[in-house]
């Protein structure tokens, strides 16, 4: 669900598009599976994962390049940069392996106590992953839609 505002600025001659979006709430749900050692003890945990991010500011810059296919001009996205800031976050895991949920509760406390550091650590990988996904998605669209269709004066 998207309730935020979006602003767009484009430089048609250079094929660059800048987008800014404000997302009031991002709710992520999934599964997790963790294995490793704490001191000398093996630790295994898996289960359900929730993350809620509040007031997320997203910045996207798209760098396109003209390409010609069968004498028709298209735009190919060469590079897509994504950055984001968020005001507040909350994490929750539910461990389904360990009865009594001691490891899960310890993980919940650790995640929420160290949320800012965890987000700072994961931000470069998350930004790159989001950019890769949307670059591929947008190229599938732009490489099927001639420039003349969406920029009739070009």
Average pLDDT, the chain: 89
Per-residue pLDDT averaged across 74-103, rounded?
87
Strands (E), 39-152: 41-69, 72-95
What is the pLDDT, as a whole number, of residue 96? 83
Whether 84 contacts 146, CB under 8 Å: no
Higher-pLDDT residue of 6, 43: 6
Domain 6-30+39-149 has CATH 3.15.10.30: yes
Q: How far apart are CA 143 and CA 154, in angstroms?
A: 16
pLDDT 10s digits, 105-131: 888 899 999 999 999 999 999 999 999
**Which tens digit of pLDDT belongs to each residue from 25-73?**
999 999 989 888 877 878 788 889 999 999 999 999 999 999 999 999 9
**Model confidence at 1: pLDDT above 50:** no
pTM of the model: 0.76
| Burial of residue 115, with CB atoms counted within 10 A of its CB: 0-12 exposed, 13-18 middle, 19 or more buried | middle
């Amino acid at each position: 669900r998207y309730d935020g505002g979006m602003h767009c600025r484009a430089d048609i001659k250079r094929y660059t598009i800048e987008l800014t979006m404000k997302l009031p709430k991002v709710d992520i749900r999934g599964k997790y599976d963790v294995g490793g050692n704490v001191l000398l003890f093996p630790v295994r945990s898996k289960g359900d994962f929730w993350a809620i991010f509040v007031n997320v500011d997203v910045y996207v810059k798209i760098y396109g390049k003209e390409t010609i296919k069968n004498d028709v001009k298209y735009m190919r996205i060469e590079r897509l940069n994504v950055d984001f800031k968020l005001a507040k976050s909350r994490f929750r895991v539910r461990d389904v392996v360990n009865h009594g949920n001691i490891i899960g509760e310890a993980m919940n406390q650790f995640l929420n106590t160290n949320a800012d550091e965890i987000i700072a650590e994961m931000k470069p990988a998350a930004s790159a992953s989001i950019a890769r996904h949307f670059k591929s998605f947008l190229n599938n669209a732009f490489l099927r839609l001639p420039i003349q269709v969406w920029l009739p004066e070009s």
